[in-house]
């Protein structure tokens, strides 16, 4: 029986010290988060969404972050509060989570089309946005740390994940190319945007596996890192 929420799925890992999210930003920059560390981060993020911003089952949360270790954390958190989650959802939405590029667009006069906007520095260590965020934006790096390290997901209808304009349950079929149990999955710039949230924040949980994110890598570095990290699935899900 599949877990009711991603946060529940994190609790099903028999060993919470094993790596769940490993992030390379160039060959010499590596961040590794264990299952326990991700669970703590998801608890804080989920509490901010639900208790701080009033996100309820069915609320729309657009997670417009780049390929970064914080992306799977926020995917798991938003799904765990029962939200309908997508990437660059058309506005208006209840919450929009933006990285540096989206924050720069707001600073230049862009309209975020959301009731609440969260800004993420995408710093390797989760620090606040350098120089601060535009007016009306909540800085994740400052706000999320105040929330608890544990979380009780609300009993709610199954959360939805949007891909290709269509929403389906987050626990939906992983597809014909479903990875094996415990798979170590790879995500990089070639992973399609349309399937990114599922590839980075859902597929690993469905098989009790983990994800390695690599950006800014030369082909030879990709090959070396995939071998060093014991990557077993180099593909990506399209849903």
Q: Output the CATH code of domain 6-228.
A: 3.40.50.12780
**pTM given for the model:** 0.94
- Burial (CB < 10 A; 0-12, 13-18, 19+), residue 45, is buried
Please identify which residue in the block is written with the tokens 């309209």: 111
Looking at every residue in the chain, the average pLDDT score rounds to 92
Please tell me the distance from the alpha carbon of residue 68 to that of residue 57, in angstroms, as a whole number.
Answer: 26
Q: Write the pLDDT tens digit of every residue in 67-105.
A: 999 999 999 999 999 999 999 999 899 999 999 999 999
């Amino acid at each position: 029986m599949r877990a009711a929420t991603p946060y529940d799925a994190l609790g099903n890992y028999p060993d919470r010290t094993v790596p769940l999210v490993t992030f390379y930003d160039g060959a010499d920059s590596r961040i590794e988060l264990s299952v326990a560390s991700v669970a703590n981060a998801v608890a804080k993020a989920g509490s901010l969404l639900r208790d701080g911003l009033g996100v309820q089952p069915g609320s729309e949360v657009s997670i417009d972050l780049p390929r970064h270790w914080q992306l799977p954390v926020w995917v798991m958190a938003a799904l765990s509060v029962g939200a309908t989650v997508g990437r660059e959802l058309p506005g208006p939405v209840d919450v929009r989570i933006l990285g540096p590029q989206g924050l720069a667009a707001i600073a230049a006069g862009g309209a975020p089309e959301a009731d609440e906007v969260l800004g993420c520095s995408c710093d390797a260590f989760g620090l606040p946005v350098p120089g601060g965020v535009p007016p009306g934006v909540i800085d994740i790096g400052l706000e999320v740390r105040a929330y608890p390290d544990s979380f009780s997901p609300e009993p709610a209808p199954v959360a939805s994940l949007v891909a290709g304009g269509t929403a389906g349950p987050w626990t939906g079929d992983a597809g014909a190319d479903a990875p094996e149990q415990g798979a170590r999955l790879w995500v990089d710039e070639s992973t399609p945007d349309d399937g990114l949230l599922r590839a980075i924040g859902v597929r690993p949980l469905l098989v009790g596996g983990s994800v390695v994110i690599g950006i800014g890598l030369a082909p030879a570095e990709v090959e070396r890192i995939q071998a060093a990290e014991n990557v077993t699935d180099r593909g990506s899900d399209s849903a």
